[in-house]
Structure 1
Amino acid sequence: MQRQWRRTAMSLMIIAALALGGCSSGNNDNKAAAPSEGTEAGDQTVSKEGFPIVQEPVKLKMFTRIAPVNGPFKEMPVFQDYEKMSNVQMEFIEAPTDGFPEKKNLLFASNELPDIMYRSNITPLEAVRYGAGGQLIPLEDLIKDYAPNLNKLMEEYPEIRASITTPEGHIYTIPGIVTLDSARTDKRWINTAWLEKLNLKVPETLDELYDVLVAFRDQDPNGNGQKDEIPLTSRVVGLPIVAAFSGSFGLDLQFGYNINITDDKVELWMGSERNKEMLMYLNKLYAENLLDHEVFSQTEAQYLAKQGSGNTGLFFDQTNNNFLPISDQYTGIAPLEGPHGDRLQSQGAPVPRDQGAFAITSINKYPEVSMRWIDYFFSDEGSTLLRFGREGEHYELVDGIPTYKPEFSTAETQPKLTPYAGGGAPHLISEYVGSYINPPQVQEAQKALNPYMPKIRYAAPMFDEATAQKVNMLRNDIDKYYEEQSTKFIAGSLSFDKWEEFQSTLKKMNIEELQQIYQDAYDKMAK
């Protein structure tokens, strides 16, 4: 891979120069710029609190992902108003979501860097590689001196610092931070209108759920005389149907992976008997047409359409935005108790949710200004501006909480207003700014999950580059194999008589070595 990268580096540089000619030239001889200990930016003082950040305007170039639903960043009120407040003028270099990783990689390969990487999903391996190579600068001292809001959050939630600090003690990227529990979990939305019509109670166990799904399939709850109801469905990407049911079998999802941590011991559970039991249960649902047969093939648009159709018995989503017109038909329920008494809410993201959302490059002449600039969005005030725009024009305070005016609360208008729509923007998502994604119905759904949430959700650890490359190599094979075989087990195209062969193959793929790497990472974090 390294030899191939070297062979193509020159062509990448040429392509990048043509495609991204608006970026700053990388005249930094590939060395990291040490954070300034003082408060001078050029010939002017950088304010450590209040606004403006600098007295004379500072211009910076920002490379950012832009989602298909978004409008131009320069037209968003948050960036228009914040430029006036801060005296920092941003030139936005926008790259579409489709093909974004390739464009991001071209920037680094060509060394044609902007000042700031924003909403860029810089992976832990990329952070270590580009940080050690001098293209991203270390941020830990800048955070200490120029990011009081971020510092406070890192003190309150130690898992944030642990998730972004390299083994060498450096921080190269800043994540999005989500302190609102309901913004980190998928709810279990069940069709209570159908339950009431069929005189059924909300299921509490997997056995009760099976009976409910059979009734949804057979008893015509939509009343049209046809067997067209969808008892249970789920998204496709990443095998989320497994994540939705794993907690009922005592299987957690720590480190963003199929990992249990019990008594300080890390277990990768893909080859475990508990996982076999879960896949057998899902196979039973699939074989009896209780689990949507399009669950491994449908598009996101098709899945969302099923939510809004009112013709689905049970599905999973963070909020109720996609089925608002029929939201009174659904209720969020607790995790189901499994055969061994397990009832864990294993689905869910950690507090540092959107990793690699912000970074400062070594060409940036104003790192202190840049850190002050981003830190504002980790306050409720800054997050409100980012998510809601201008008070009175775009939102109003309802019971003291920012709430979109009706004309800006639609799926069409909101993404033009804020970079938060489309995901991955580095900012604080707290209860104060969560009215759109955390309305009363979602709050009630979260209350059903809260008793079963883990005390801490560990984010993916930071590895040194050699270890990260090893993890990537192991996981590329193991994850692909696990997903392919699990899909076959569930769909019935692979017999469970092949389970020992499945376990043996995982061992041959060195799953035990991968488990030890995660164990070592946990041991370092636990010190």
Structure 2
Amino acid sequence: MRKPWRRNAVWTMVILGLVVSGCSPGAAGGKEANSAAPAAAAATVSKTGYPIVEEPIKLKMFTRIAPVNGPFKDMPVFQDYGALSNIEVDFIETPTDGFQEKKNLLFASNELPDALFRSSLTPLETIRYGTAGQLIPLENLIDDYAPNFKKLLDEYPEIRSGITTPEGHIYALPAVVTLGAARTDKKWINQSWLEKLNLEEPQTTEELYNVLVAFRDQDPNGNGEADEIPMTARASAGSGQGIPVVNMMSGSFGLDQQLGYNINLIDNQVEIWMGSERNKELLVYLNKLYNEKLLDPEVFSHTEAEYLAKQASGKTGFFFDQTNNPFLDIADQYTGIAPPEGPHGDRLQSQGAPVARDFGAFAITSVNKYPEATLRWIDYFYSVEGSTLLRFGREGEHYELKDGIPYYKEEFLKSGNQAKITPYAGGGAPHLISDQVASYINPPQVQEAQEKLDPHMPKVRYAAPMFDEQTAQRVNILRNDIDKYYEEQSTKFIAGAQSFDKWDEFQATLKKMNIDELQQIYQDAYDKMEK
């Protein structure tokens, strides 16, 4: 999964000015405090076993609280882990709305907590505040005080490359998603409609087109009305993450999404494909679907709630989602399929998050007197035991084990209180998401859908690289213009508001926007990652 940082450009530039002009003495003081703090705390920290410290300590952590959450202090994970670790955490809870602004002001004022939990720090923020001395580097502490996270770094080297600054520092930890099914949107097709119309699962983009035509014309839901939606997808969030329907279908045209962007990696060469002929072929295909009312006319405008309602309605033929949760009541109606093979033989599952997802989920500040103990505290959640407690609560009360896998108890599911007991609900929590703790999002139907995708996934999904601050600002400027232009023009091409006769002009404009410079920046970053 990778979080966009470009939308915070104005804020972060303001913060930089504040840090440089008004807060640098405080930041420097933070560095001095940090240099003295480890020696005072190290002797009391156990590197293995529990409690982490013999004498209780208290930490303040700034965190985002989602609307679905209950108070963190009431969550069993923090109550039980506090008793186990001998570390009490006082969470400074900030609602999702307004969280970014309050986080910015936190650093601008230099009124820092001990750590940031579920903090959604962007790469640019991480480098900026780390360079300013407000966040401490963690790379030298990880070996001794984060054995679970260290094991993941060794098993998945792409995690380290995705969280390490050009200077070699790790200032923030991500969520780690080793479960492939938690990093992909599945391709769900209406199996009951296929059976009624005596159709096979489509194996190619041409076969998919023919199936969608049948869904449109042959009344597969049998109500005598032309109310079927042959194909739909999420609407764009307008955050530089592309157009979802383009992302979902790009792999059939040989277009990957590496390094957190529209990038193919071919023989270690970075290729931004937005102006390529393959991308044109993809947009022509989607335009054909749109013009023939095979692609939802609301695909660029409907809300998330409306999209989920379409899944649950049973009137949709083909769509994309990570799990089957939105359509559980009619789950038997759908099955997952493999990416359809495109006109050049491509069958790539291009969409998907990297193993290091939710970048900047946890960081330790320079005012923290117990950095070793704090790192050991968070490391627990990168274990199966810790992530189970974080996500499922207490065994016997909230969940039960079946073949070693935790499942919410039926009576607890009926209570509807799952989101109240875990910071996982609402996203962005620093922890391990593996097949051992993902029963709620990875039931058998989802596992089967993922198995259809697995043969077509790249061996490594590279996360967005970390740039030095100057380069990050340049990337921010370039992508602000390029991404907005690409999304606007691609939407017009698909919807038929712009003729493909304008393709040469489109390519030329991308050139004028310095897309080649952007490509070289990503190439340089990739080369450093591979050294």
TM superposition score normalised by structure 2: 0.93
**CA offsets, 1:287-318, max 9 Å, x none?**
11111111111111111111111111111111
Match of 1:111 in 2: 110
Output the CA distance in 2 between the equivalents of 1:9 and 1:501.
42
Alignment of 1:414-453 (within 5 A): 414-453=418-457
Which whole-Å deviations, capped at 9, do the CAs of 1:343-379 have from their partners, x for residues lacking one? 0000101100110000001111111111000000000
* Alpha-carbon distance, 1:160 to partner: 0.6
> 2:206 is aligned with what amino acid?
D
For residue 291 of structure 1, the aligned residue among 292, 295, 298 is 295
d(CA) in 1 for partners of 2:167, 2:350: 31
Q: Report the secondary structure of 1:29's partner residue.
A: helix
The equivalences for 1:318-329 within 5 A come to 318-329=322-333
Instruction: Report Cα offsets for 1:356-413 as digits up to 9, x if no partner.
Output: 0000011111111110000000000101110111111100011221111123336942
Compared with structure 1, are the counterparts of its residues 411 and 130 closer, same or farther at alpha carbon in structure 2 (3 Å cutoff)? farther
Q: CA contact under 8 A between 1:255 and 1:458: conserved in structure 2? A: yes
In structure 1, distance between residues paired with 2:15 and 2:152: 41
- In 1, Cα distance between equivalents of 2:13 and 2:145: 40
Quick check: 1:27–1:363 contact (8 Å CA) kept in 2? no
2: CA distance between counterparts of 1:392 and 1:60? 29
**Contact 2:62–2:94 (CA under 8 A) maintained in structure 1:** yes
SS in 1 for 2:448: helix
Identity %: 73
Residue equivalent to 2:31: 31
- 8 A Cα contact 2:335 2:449, kept in partner: yes
Aligned equivalents of 2:415 and 2:508: distance in 1?
48
Please identify, of 196-205 and 33-42, the stretch whose mean Cα deviation from structure 2 is larger: 33-42
Equivalent position of 1:19 in the other structure? none
How many residues align structurally? 515
Structure 1 CA distance for aligned equivalents of residues 284 and 32 of structure 2? 52
| Contact map agreement 2:37 2:369 (CA 8 A) in 1 | no
Q: Counterpart in 2 of 1:485? A: 489
What residue identity is the alignment partner of 2:189? I
Shift of 1:34: 4.7
Q: CA deviation at 1:39?
A: 7.2
User: How far apart, CA to CA, are the structure 2 residues paired with 1:437 and 1:510?
Assistant: 41
Alignment of 1:5 onto 2:14 = yes
For residues 184-235 of structure 1, what are the alpha-carbon distances to aligned partners after superposition, in whole Å with 9 as ceiling and x for unaligned? 1110010101111111111000011011111111111111111111111111
- Name the aligned partner's letter for residue 375 of structure 1: D
How far apart, CA to CA, are the structure 1 residues paired with 2:27 and 2:490?
Answer: 49
- Give a deviation string over 1:15-71, Cα, whole Å, max 9, x none: xxxxxxxxxxx78635375577977528x6111111111112111111111111111
- Equivalent residues of 2:255, 2:279 under 8 A apart: yes
AA partner of residue 429 (structure 1): I
Determine which of 367, 391, 398 is the counterpart of 2:402.
Answer: 398
- Relative to structure 2, which stretch is displaced further, 66-75 or 386-395? 66-75
User: What is the 5 A alignment of 1:60-459?
Assistant: 60-236=59-235, 237=237, 238-409=242-413, 412-459=416-463
Give the CA deviation at 1:450.
Answer: 0.6
Structure 1's consecutive aligned runs of 4 or more residues displaced over 4 angstroms after TM superposition are: 1-4, 6-10, 32-40
Q: 1:64·1:92 contact (CA, 8 Å) conserved in 2?
A: yes
3-state SS of 1:260 partner = strand
Task: Report the secondary structure of 1:177's partner residue.
Answer: strand
Residue 58 (structure 1) aligns with: 57
Q: Which residue type is aligned with residue 92 of structure 2?
A: I
- Secondary structure of 2:31 counterpart: coil
Question: Deviation at 1:100?
Answer: 1.6
Q: Which residue of 1 aligns with 2:45?
A: 46
Contact persistence 1:125–1:463 (CA under 8 A): yes
Which residue identity does 1:242 align to in structure 2?
V
- Unaligned stretches of 5+ residues in structure 1: 14-25
- For 2:167 and 2:28, the matched residues in 1 are separated by 22
